[in-house]
Amino acid sequence: EVQLVESGGVVVQPGGSLRLSCAASGFTFDDYTMHWVRQAPGKGLEWVSFITWDGGATYYADSVKGRFTISRDNSKNSLYLQMNSLRAEDTALYFCAKEGYIALSGSGRDSYYYYMDVWGKGTTVTVSS
Amino acid sequence: DIQMTQSPSSLSASVGDRVTITCRASQTINNYLNWYQQKPGKAPKLLIYTASSLQSGVPSRFSGSGSGTDFTLTISSLQPEDFATYYCQQSYNLLSITFGQGTRLEIK
User: For B57-85, what is each residue's pLDDT tens digit?
Assistant: 999 999 999 999 999 999 999 999 999 99
Report the sign of the C-alpha dihedral through residues B94, A32, A6, B85, in that order: positive
User: What pLDDT digit, counting tens, does each position of A19-66 carry?
Assistant: 999 999 999 999 999 999 999 999 999 999 999 999 999 999 999 999
- B49–A102 C-beta distance less than 8 A: yes
List of chain B residues whose C-beta atoms are within 8 Å of the C-beta of residue A109? none
Q: Would the pLDDT of B6 be above 80?
A: yes
- Mean pLDDT, to the nearest integer, of B11-38? 97
Cβ distance B32 to A113 less than 8 Å, yes or no, reads yes
Q: CA–CA separation, A45 vs B71, rounded Å? A: 19
Q: Do B91 and A95 touch (CB under 8 A)?
A: no
Query: What mean pLDDT is predicted for residues B20-43?
Result: 97
Q: What is the pLDDT of residue A58?
A: 97
* pLDDT score of A89: 98
Q: Check A114 against B43: CB less than 8 A apart.
A: no
Give the gap in angstroms from C-alpha B29 to the nearest C-alpha of chain A: 11
Question: Quick one: pLDDT at residue B102?
Answer: 98
pLDDT at A114: 95
In this structure, the strands spanning B70-75 and B62-67 are: antiparallel
Q: Closest Cα of chain A to B25: distance in Å?
A: 16
Identify the band that residue B55 occupies on the pLDDT scale cut at 50, 70 and 90.
very high
User: CB of B90 within 8 Å of any CB in chain A?
Assistant: no
Asked if B102's CB is within 8 angstroms of A45's CB, the reply is yes
Diameter over CA atoms, chain B: 39
- Residue-wise pLDDT for A104-123, tens only, equals 887 777 889 999 999 999 99
CA distance A24 to B90: 25
Q: What residue of B is the nearest CA neighbor of A50? A: B95
| Chain A residues in contact with chain B using a Cβ-Cβ cutoff of 8 Å | 35, 37, 44-47, 50, 59, 61-62, 95, 100, 102, 104, 113-117, 119-122
- Judge: A45–B31 Cβ closer than 8 Å, yes or no: no
pLDDT of residue A100: 96
**Chain A hits for B96, Cβ within 8 Å:** 47, 59, 61-62
Cβ–Cβ < 8 Å for A70, A60: yes
User: According to the model, what pLDDT value does residue A106 have?
Assistant: 74
Q: Of B29, B78, B80, B71, whose CA–CA distance to B53 is shortest?
A: B71
User: In this predicted model, which residue has the larger pLDDT, A105 or B104?
Assistant: B104
> Residue A111: what pLDDT?
86
A-chain residues near B43 (CB < 8 A): 95, 119-122
From chain B, the residues in CB contact with A46 under 8 A are 99
